[in-house]
Each structure stands twice: as structure tokens, then as C-alpha cells.
């Protein structure tokens, strides 16, 4: 029988109701009061959202509703409680309520000294962050939460057939971290498995037939011991009387297909978008009498599907006529916005081309109906899909001039005129900076006043002239502060920018913003990525006026701020009808033109931020080379069109570069600034081992906290840095931009930073 289902749904609600409920609760929870009515409201909101999301699944003809994908903060954190491995360092008392412990782990607890929030990291290559489980040799597991079973009961009470979802035991261990030396978290498996069995058995007792067990690590380059663990684990779990749908996503299963197909599970889900290349092999190797769930609707992007193409996949040899085929999105819909309904301001052509979570449910529905009842039964959906395919061929998407320019990109387009040492000498002559030059990463505090002015202008409540005046006032203030501090290279402070990608997307042709396209990033935090729908070009200068104005106020060099092509690409929803490398080239050319205009306006130092470069690395190492080649080239296209004495900076955050050092060096930026203070400069080792040739500014203070670091502390870090990097190539700067900070702490910290640089100068 052909069925359809989804792997998970966005949690926040159509209007981010969960965000509001969470933030209201957190605010009131921090005030001393025994009864917290906002907790009840939060719990009630959770219940309402689950019910609403199940109703949507049901309405769209899904054969089950998916239960267990909801989380107040993060689904991995749900599992930490379900499996009873909350870190002992929080010292929770027996009677501390579950949700209180939950938020203490997520956000930190003030009641104990060791109550720092658990760390978060990116969920595979998405922009979603999960809470990292902490493991010790003595970690024990025990079924410790009723939440999942309660939610199953909730769905059953509403009359829905339920498929429960769990993160599988191998992935759960793999995604955690060892917090003690000399032990391997995989060794915890024998202690963990009995709890999983218990959970399966409980779900069975609740009347759940199917359990979706997510093992996304099967799509990574995992070591053999992890791969081998799968056999034993699933042998063991198969002894429970439930049906397991082993679920993989985000990647090809290459190299692991034989293992996967040998596991004794009743069903398998594969990502037919990212793992399209595997389908043929899986169709032959996966037994025909078992369920195969094929993820043909892209859960990572927002484009309306080409239903003919999806049907062709579902009807390809090996899949056609399968008795046990399920139609699904490639992965959880957590990574796309809720629904298009709220997009009232969007260009209608673009809107016709998009499908958010709710619309994707309908696409799945249509595919199932086409397979079951024939294409005629879904003629309207097919017709609309075909219209969209045609629409996207139009000239509102394609710009012949842009295509021509990209095609004509020649060999030397990504090279500076002269090698670094020649440029360095010319730049030294031009700027005459002291040793250990001081600078910042770009943004200064975004005060309420700045935000209100921007919002008022956007609403139409402030005239263009008034807006310009208020931004110029902010820039002038920023320059004045930098003069007082005695910094060497200034910035304008970025008051006019809401976000470093959104700002540029508003200028660039081929990019658009949504009004409500929010996607969960972590906890209650959501991001609204721009949409790259067409060939990208730059109709007019984007930053020149502000930078020029700032430069007119001072004799010190003002460093211009741009966002790099890969970061713009990485933090947007990107069109799926063009290669990413081509889109990167298009954005690179737009930035290159901006760089040229800045240079023409007399700006001598230009920073191109690329915090997204490292995070764009593909999940599988075999795909790294290709990505790094085009990504680094795009950066160079953007940055290399300048004279030798124009200084190019780049900036990257929280990055581990050891494994891609040659590529970082290949960017050939004159100066690279990095987030380094929290790692005690250990990051620099890679630069030293590689003999990184250009100048480096390792961040000397953490901008994530309001704490003002002392001069001694920063001198300490600088001395450490000077031990690995020749002093005449070191810059002094904070870890990242200062926009989330207050002015008071910013001023004090920068003051200490400038003093540290002066002390360092005396040592050389």
C-alpha cells in the first residue's frame, strides 16, 4: 500500500506563538513568585500547537500524525530527559519539576556554581542548534520522562493514528560529547539499549504500531566502530514487538548502504533529494517486502516541488509498483517556515513558486493520490506545478547579462595584482599603522534608538531625510568614540543594518525577503533567511554613502564592511534551478562591484565577512574539495579587483580551521580576524603549523558576554599569540561585532584593549 507521512513539523506555530509563550514564561520565572501562571500558559500553548499541527497533517491526508517531534526548546534535550541522563553538575533535587530542569539545562542555572547552560551546536549542516548531551564513564540511563507517552495519549485522544518519533541510540551517543578523558561514549551503549527497549515496549503498550527512529549519523563519515554498532543495536531493538522505520536524512548513505540494508527493521526512510544518487542501489538492496519511505519533497528548501519529477522518481525502476512505498519529505519540516499564508507582501510570481511546511503537506498528499488513484485525480496540482516550472524560466528570474558575465569569468579574475609581500609593503607605506594595530569587527552597539529609527523608516513613519540624519548622527557618535579610544582603524558601526545578510538582500536583484518566513535556530530564537530566487545583480551601490560619510569625519582610515558571497549564500534559501557555485559567482561579482565603488570613493581598507564559509562545508568529506574550490574562488572574485595598496580584511567566527588551512590561506586576504579568545588562542596553532603568511587578528575578548576583560588578561592573550605568530603580523581586535553589547561595557573593554596593544608595542 502507498502511504504518506512527514518526519517532523515546525514547532513555533504560524505566528511564532511558542516563542512568545516561552519568553513570557522565562521572564516571569525569573521573578520570585511561587505560582507561575505563565508556566500553565506555556504548557497549554504546547498542547494547542501539537493539536494544530496534527490536524494539518490529518487534513492533508497523511496516514499517521507524527508525535515526538515537538519540543519546548530542543528535541535532543527532550531525549536527555527521556533517557534520564541529565548532567549531575546541575545538582537537581528529586522534586524539581521536569520543565524547570529542562530550561535550567538549556539556559543555565544560577542555583549552583556549575550550572552553566549546556552547550549547543549545529544540527548537521542546518542552522538549527541542538543541546549537546554530556557523557561520563559513570553516566547511567533510565526511562525518566512521561512527556513522549503523554503526547502519544494526547494524539490518540484526538482520534489520530500515531507514528512516534525517536532519535536513535547510535545517533544520540554520537551527537553527544565525552566530558572526561580516556573514555569512549560508544562504550555507554550497553547501558543505553535497555532503556530504548523499555521505551519501545511502552510505546507498543500505548498502541503505537510504527516508530520512526532517526539515525541521521548514517549520512556522515562515521568510523567503522560506529557503523558496526548499528548491527548489534538494531538486532537488540528488533526484539520489541513494534515496527521500526529507520530514518536517515541530509546526505547520501554512500559506503553505508550495505550495512543499512542488512538491519532487521521493518522500514527505511531515505532522503531522495540529498541522497538521490543512492536510490537505485537502495531500490535493489532493500527487500521488497519491507517499507521504503522515499523523501522526494525537499525539507531543506522552500521551492514548490516539480511534481512530475518527483513522480518520475517514485515510478523509477525498483520503486515503481512497490507494494510498500511511503511518500515523504526528505527530512523534518523543522527547517522551513510555517506557511505562505502570511506572505501578503510578496511578489505574486515568487509566491507561486514557493512551498513552506503547510504547502509541502499538500504536495505529499498529491503525490500519494497520484500513485494510488492516478494522475487524473490530482490534475490541478500537477497543472499548478507545471505552471510553476514554466514561470521559473521567465526573465524575472533569468538575467542574460548576469549569465554572460559569469560565463566570461577568466582565469585571473580571482587574483590580486601582486603577491602579499609586495602589497604589504605598499599598504604599510600608505597607512603607517603602529605595531599591533587596533580595530573592531564592524558593528557597534545597536541601541533602542537605532532600532526604533530603522523600524520607523521601514514603516513609513520617518522621512528618508530624517532617517539619513539619524543614521549619520549615530555614525558620527561612533567615530567620536573611536577617536577618544585611540583605535587605529575605524569602522562606521553598521547602525543602518538590521542583519548582515538581510541588509544586502534588500539591495540585490534576484533576492527577496519574506515577512513571516521564520525558522527555528535554537530555543525561542528564529531566523528569517532571505530567498535567492533569480540571477543576482547589484543595481546600485549599497554601502558607499555611509562609509564615505564616516571617512569624511576622521583622518584615521575607515574600514568598509561587506558580507561575503558565501555567507550570503549560506544564510539564505537558495534557488534550486541553478548550481550553488554559479549563484556564488553572481553574488561575488555584485560584491566585487561594491568593492570597486568603495575604492573609487577613497576607502583604503575593506572587510569582507565570511563567517559562513566554514559552516558551508559539506557533510561528507569527499565533497569538501569541490565546495572549497568554488567557495574560496568566489571570495577571491569578490575581493581581488583592487589595487595593491588597498587592504582587504576578512572575518570569520567560531571556526576551527586546522583541516582547511590551505584554503583559508588561498583566500589571500591581507588581514584575517577571528574569534579566538574563548579558546585561549589555541586556534592559532593551525596558522603556525601551516606558516600562514598574511596578517592575523585573533580576537582578544569575548563579545558574547558583558564582562569587561582586564588589560592584563588581554596582554596575556596577545603574548600567547605573539609566541605563535610573528608580532609584526598581529592585529588587536575583539572576537566579533559589538552590536549586541551596551555602550558602557563596550567602551571600557575597547579602552582596555587599546591599552593592551600599547603595552605590547613597548615589548617589540
Q: Could you identify the residue written with the cell 558607499?
A: 544
Sketch the per residue contact string, 617 through 656, with ligand GLN: x for CB under 6 A, - otherwise.
Answer: ----------------------------------x-x---
Rounded CA-CA distance 22/716 in Å is 40
Say whether residue 325 binds ligand GLN (CB under 6 A). Answer: no
Q: Is 368 annotated as a binding residue?
A: no
State the DSSP code for 56.
H
Neighbours of 752 (CB within 10 A): 20
C-beta closer to ligand GLN: residue 226 or 507:
507
Task: Report whether 108 contacts 87 (CB < 8 A).
Answer: no
According to CB under 6 A, which one of 69, 343, 496, 609 is a site residue for ligand GLN?
Answer: 609
Give the SS3 label for residue 120: strand
Say whether residue 478 binds ligand GLN (CB under 6 A). Answer: no
Q: Is 609 annotated as a binding residue?
A: yes
Q: Is 625 annotated as a binding residue?
A: no
Minimum CB separation of residue 652 from Zn ion in Å reads 7
Minimum CB separation of residue 737 from ligand GLN in Å reads 2
Say whether residue 697 binds ligand GLN (CB under 6 A). Answer: no
Name the segment binding ligand GLN (CB under 6 A); options: 196-204, 212-220, 440-448, 466-474: 440-448
Of the candidates 75, 129, 204, 704, the residue annotated as catalytic is: 704
Say whether residue 616 binds ligand GLN (CB under 6 A). Answer: no
C-beta closer to ligand GLN: residue 364 or 703:
703
Rounded CA-CA distance 423/417 in Å is 9
Say whether residue 492 binds ligand GLN (CB under 6 A). Answer: no
Residue 739 contact among Zn ion, ligand GLN, none, beta carbon within 5 to 8 Å by kind: ligand GLN
CA 128 from centre of chain: 5
753 — alpha (psi -120 to 50), left (phi > 0) or beta?
alpha
Minimum CB separation of residue 647 from Zn ion in Å reads 19
Burial 718-744 (b: 16+ CB within 10 A, else e): bebbbebbebebbbbbbbbbbbebeee
Q: Is 122 annotated as a binding residue?
A: yes
Task: Report whether 548 contacts 602 (CB < 8 A).
Answer: yes
C-beta closer to Zn ion: residue 311 or 653:
653
CA distances from 616 to 128, 159, 175, 567, 698 (A): 14, 43, 19, 8, 22
649 given a catalytic annotation: no
Residue 682: which H helix or E strand, with range?
none
Say whether residue 736 binds ligand GLN (CB under 6 A). Answer: yes
Residue 292 contact among ligand GLN, Zn ion, none, beta carbon within 5 to 8 Å by kind: none
Name the segment binding ligand GLN (CB under 6 A); options: 99-107, 158-166, 197-205, 735-743: 735-743
Rounded CA-CA distance 691/93 in Å is 52
Name the segment binding ligand GLN (CB under 6 A); options: 143-151, 170-178, 363-371, 736-744: 736-744
Minimum CB separation of residue 622 from ligand GLN in Å reads 29
Q: Is 538 annotated as a binding residue?
A: no
Name the segment binding ligand GLN (CB under 6 A); options: 36-44, 454-462, 692-700, 731-739: 731-739
According to CB under 6 A, which one of 302, 561, 664, 681 is a site residue for ligand GLN?
Answer: 561
C-beta closer to Zn ion: residue 704 or 719:
704
Task: Report whether 337 contacts 518 (CB < 8 A).
Answer: yes
C-beta closer to ligand GLN: residue 299 or 737:
737
Minimum CB separation of residue 442 from ligand GLN in Å reads 3
C-beta closer to Zn ion: residue 369 or 735:
735
According to CB under 6 A, which one of 441, 532, 590, 684 is a site residue for ligand GLN?
Answer: 441
Task: Choose among 278, 276, 236, 274: nearest CA to 256.
Answer: 278
Q: Is 525 annotated as a binding residue?
A: yes
Say whether residue 535 binds ligand GLN (CB under 6 A). Answer: no
C-beta closer to ligand GLN: residue 22 or 560:
560
CA distances from 64 to 46, 58, 390, 501 (A): 20, 7, 34, 38
CA distances from 75 to 118, 130, 165, 680 (A): 14, 8, 10, 32
State the DSSP code for 621.
G
C-beta closer to Zn ion: residue 250 or 504:
504
Residue 561 contact among ligand GLN, Zn ion, none, beta carbon within 5 to 8 Å by kind: ligand GLN
Q: Is 443 annotated as a binding residue?
A: yes
Residue ranges in contact with Zn ion by CB under 5 A: 653, 736
CA 168 from centre of chain: 22
According to CB under 6 A, which one of 438, 443, 572, 694 is a site residue for ligand GLN?
Answer: 443
CA 184 from centre of chain: 28
Rounded CA-CA distance 322/292 in Å is 9
State the DSSP code for 507.
T
C-beta closer to ligand GLN: residue 216 or 495:
495
According to CB under 6 A, which one of 46, 216, 442, 734 is a site residue for ligand GLN?
Answer: 442
Residue 164: which H helix or E strand, with range?
strand 162-167
- Please state at what angle helix 147-157 crosses helix 37-59, rounded to 10 degrees: 50
680, with CB counted inside 10 A (0-12, 13-18, 19+), is: exposed
Say whether residue 81 binds ligand GLN (CB under 6 A). Answer: no
In the bound state, the residue with its beta carbon closest to ligand GLN is 737
Q: Is 16 annotated as a binding residue?
A: yes
Q: Is 442 annotated as a binding residue?
A: yes
Name the segment binding ligand GLN (CB under 6 A); options: 200-208, 288-296, 436-444, 662-670: 436-444
Minimum CB separation of residue 650 from ligand GLN in Å reads 10
Task: Report whether 737 contacts 702 (CB < 8 A).
Answer: no
Q: Is 19 annotated as a binding residue?
A: yes
According to CB under 6 A, which one of 46, 87, 709, 737 is a site residue for ligand GLN?
Answer: 737
Say whether residue 75 binds ligand GLN (CB under 6 A). Answer: no
What is the three-state SS of 241-307? Answer: CCEEEEECCCCCCCCCHHHHHHCCCCEEEEECCCCHHHHHHHHHHCCCCCEEEEEEECCCCCECCCH
707 — alpha (psi -120 to 50), left (phi > 0) or beta?
beta
Torsion sign across C-alpha atoms 309, 311, 313, 316: negative
Task: Choose among 5, 11, 1, 3: nearest CA to 523.
Answer: 11
Q: DSSP string of 570-633?
A: HTSEE-SSS-HHHHHHHHHHHHHHHHHHHHHTT--EEEEE-THHHHTS-SSGGGHHHHHHHHHH
Q: Is 363 annotated as a binding residue?
A: no
Rounded CA-CA distance 701/714 in Å is 7
Minimum CB separation of residue 443 from ligand GLN in Å reads 3
Rounded CA-CA distance 125/726 in Å is 35
**Maximal CA-CA distance, the chain:** 82
Task: Report whether 155 contacts 199 (CB < 8 A).
Answer: no
Rounded CA-CA distance 726/286 in Å is 58
C-beta closer to Zn ion: residue 271 or 502:
502
Nine cell digits for residue 746: 563596550
Say whether residue 591 binds ligand GLN (CB under 6 A). Answer: no
Strands in 618-662 per DSSP E: 647-652
Minimum CB separation of residue 672 from Zn ion in Å reads 12
According to CB under 6 A, which one of 53, 101, 304, 739 is a site residue for ligand GLN?
Answer: 739
According to CB under 6 A, which one of 216, 611, 641, 698 is a site residue for ligand GLN?
Answer: 611
Nine cell digits for residue 32: 520570585
Site size toward ligand GLN (CB under 6 A) is 13
Annotated binding site: 16-19, 122, 441-443, 494, 525-526, 571, 609, 615, 651, 653, 675, 736
Residues that bind ligand GLN (CB under 6 A): 441-443, 494, 500, 561, 609, 611, 651, 653, 736-737, 739
Annotated binding site for L-methionine: 441-443, 494, 609
Annotated binding site for Zn(2+): 651, 653, 675, 736
Annotated binding site for 5-methyltetrahydropteroyltri-L-glutamate: 16-19, 122, 525-526, 571, 615
Indicate which residues carry an active-site annotation: 704
Annotated binding site for L-homocysteine: 441-443, 494, 609
Amino acid at each position: 500500500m502507498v502511504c504518506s507521512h512527514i518526519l517532523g513539523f515546525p514547532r513555533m506555530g504560524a505566528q511564532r506563538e511558542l516563542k512568545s509563550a516561552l519568553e513570557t514564561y522565562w521572564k516571569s520565572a525569573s521573578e520570585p513568585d511561587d505560582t507561575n501562571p505563565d508556566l500553565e500558559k506555556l504548557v497549554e500553548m504546547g498542547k494547542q500547537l501539537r493539536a494544530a499541527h496534527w490536524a494539518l497533517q490529518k487534513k492533508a491526508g497523511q496516514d499517521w500524525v507524527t508525535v515526538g517531534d515537538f519540543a519546548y526548546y530542543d528535541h535532543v534535550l527532550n531525549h536527555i530527559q527521556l533517557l534520564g541522563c541529565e548532567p549531575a553538575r546541575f545538582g537537581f533535587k528529586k522534586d524539581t519539576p521536569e520543565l524547570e530542569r529542562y530550561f535550567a539545562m538549556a539556559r543555565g542555572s544560577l542555583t549552583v556554581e556549575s550550572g552553566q547552560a549546556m552547550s549547543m551546536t549545529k544540527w548537521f549542516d542546518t542552522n538549527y542548534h541542538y543541546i549537546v548531551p554530556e557523557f561520563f564513564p559513570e553516566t547511567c540511563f533510565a526511562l525518566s520522562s512521561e512527556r513522549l507517552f503523554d503526547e502519544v495519549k494526547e494524539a490518540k485522544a484526538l482520534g489520530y493514528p500515531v507514528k512516534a518519533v525517536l532519535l536513535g541510540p547510535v545517533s544520540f551517543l554520537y551527537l553527544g560529547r565525552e566530558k572526561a578523558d580516556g573514555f569512549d561514549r560508544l562504550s555507554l551503549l550497553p547501558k543505553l539499549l535497555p532503556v530504548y527497549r523499555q521505551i519501545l515496549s511502552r510505546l507498543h503498550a500505548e498502541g503505537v504500531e510504527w516508530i520512526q527512529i532517526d539515525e541521521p549519523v548514517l549520512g556522515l563519515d562515521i568510523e567503522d566502530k560506529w557503523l558496526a554498532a548499528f548491527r548489534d543495536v538494531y538486532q537488540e531493538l528488533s526484539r520489541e514487538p513494534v515496527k521500526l522505520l529507520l530514518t536517515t536524512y541530509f546526505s547520501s548513505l554512500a559506503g553505508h548502504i550495505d550495512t543499512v540494508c542488512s538491519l532487521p527493521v521493518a522500514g527505511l526512510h531515505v532522503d531522495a533529494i540529498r541522497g538521490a544518487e543512492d536510490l537505485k542501489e537502495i531500490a535493489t538492496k532493500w527487500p521488497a517486502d519491507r517499507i521504503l519511505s522515499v523523501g522526494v519533497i525537499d525539507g531543506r528548501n522552500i521551492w514548490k516541488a516539480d511534481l512530475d519529477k518527483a513522480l518520475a522518481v517514485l515510478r523509477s525502476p525498483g520503486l515503481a509498483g512497490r507494494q510498500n512505498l511511503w511518500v515523504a519529505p526528505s527530512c523534518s519540516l523543522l527547517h522551513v517556515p510555517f506557511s505562505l499564508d502570511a506572505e501578503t507582501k510578496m511578489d505574486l510570481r515568487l509566491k507561486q513558486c514557493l512551498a513552506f511546511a503547510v504547502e509541502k503537506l499538500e504536495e505529499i498528499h498529491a503525490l500519494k493520490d497520484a500513485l494510488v488513484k492516478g494522475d487524473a485525480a490530482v490534475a490541478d496540482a500537477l497543472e499548478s506545478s507545471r505552471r510553476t516550472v514554466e514561470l521559473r524560466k521567465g526573465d524575472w528570474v533569468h538575467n542574460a547579462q548576469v549569465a554572460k558575465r559569469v560565463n566570461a569569468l577568466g582565469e585571473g579574475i580571482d587574483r590580486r595584482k601582486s603577491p602579499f609581500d609586495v602589497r604589504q609593503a605598499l599598504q604599510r607605506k600608505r597607512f603607517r599603522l603602529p605595531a599591533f594595530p587596533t580595530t573592531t569587527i564592524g558593528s557597534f552597539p545597536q541601541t533602542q534608538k537605532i532600532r526604533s529609527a530603522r523600524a520607523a523608516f521601514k514603516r513609513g513613519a520617518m522621512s528618508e531625510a530624517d532617517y539619513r540624519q539619524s543614521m549619520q548622527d549615530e555614525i558620527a557618535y561612533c567615530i567620536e568614540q573611536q577617536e577618544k579610544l585611540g583605535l587605529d582603524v575605524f569602522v562606521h558601526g553598521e547602525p543602518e543594518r538590521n542583519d548582515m545578510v538581510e541588509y544586502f538582500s534588500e539591495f540585490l536583484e534576484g533576492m527577496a525577503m519574506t515577512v513571516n518566513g521564520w525558522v527555528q535556530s535554537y530555543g525561542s530564537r528564529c531566523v528569517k533567511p532571505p530567498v535567492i530566487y533569480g540571477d543576482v545583480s547589484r543595481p546600485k551601490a549599497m554601502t558607499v554613502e555611509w562609509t564615505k560619510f564616516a571617512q569624511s569625519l576622521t583622518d584615521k582610515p575607515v574600514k568598509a564592511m561587506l558580507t561575503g558571497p558565501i555567507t550570503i549564500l549560506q544564510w539564505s534559501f537558495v534557488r534550486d534551478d541553478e548550481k550553488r557555485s554559479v549563484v556564488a559567482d553572481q553574488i561575488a561579482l555584485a560584491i566585487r562591484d561594491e568593492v570597486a565603488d568603495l575604492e573609487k570613493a577613497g576607502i583604503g581598507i575593506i572587510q569582507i565577512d565570511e563567517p559562513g564559509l566554514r559552516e558551508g562545508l559539506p557533510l561528507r568529506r569527499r565533497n569538501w574539495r569541490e565546495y572549497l574550490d568554488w567557495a574560496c574562488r568566489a571570495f577571491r572574485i569578490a575581493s581581488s579587483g583592487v589595487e595593491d595598496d588597498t587592504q582587504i580584511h576578512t572575518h570569520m567566527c567560531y571556526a576551527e580551521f586546522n583541516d582547511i588551512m590551505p584554503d583559508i590561506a588561498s583566500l589571500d586576504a591581507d588581514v584575517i580576524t577571528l574569534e579566538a579568545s574563548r579558546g585561549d588562542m589555541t586556534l592559532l596553532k593551525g596558522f603556525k603549523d601551516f606558516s600562514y603568511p598574511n596578517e592575523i587578528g585573533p580576537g582578544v575578548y569575548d563579545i558574547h558576554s558583558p564582562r569587561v576583560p582586564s588589560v592584563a588578561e588581554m596582554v596575556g592573550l596577545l603574548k600567547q599569540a605573539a609566541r605563535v605568530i610573528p608580532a609584526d603580523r598581529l592585529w588587536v581586535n575583539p572576537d566579533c561585532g559589538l552590536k549586541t553589547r551596551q555602550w558602557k561595557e563596550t567602551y571600557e573593554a575597547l579602552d582596555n584593549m587599546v591599552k593592551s596593544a600599547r603595552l605590547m608595542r613597548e615589548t617589540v
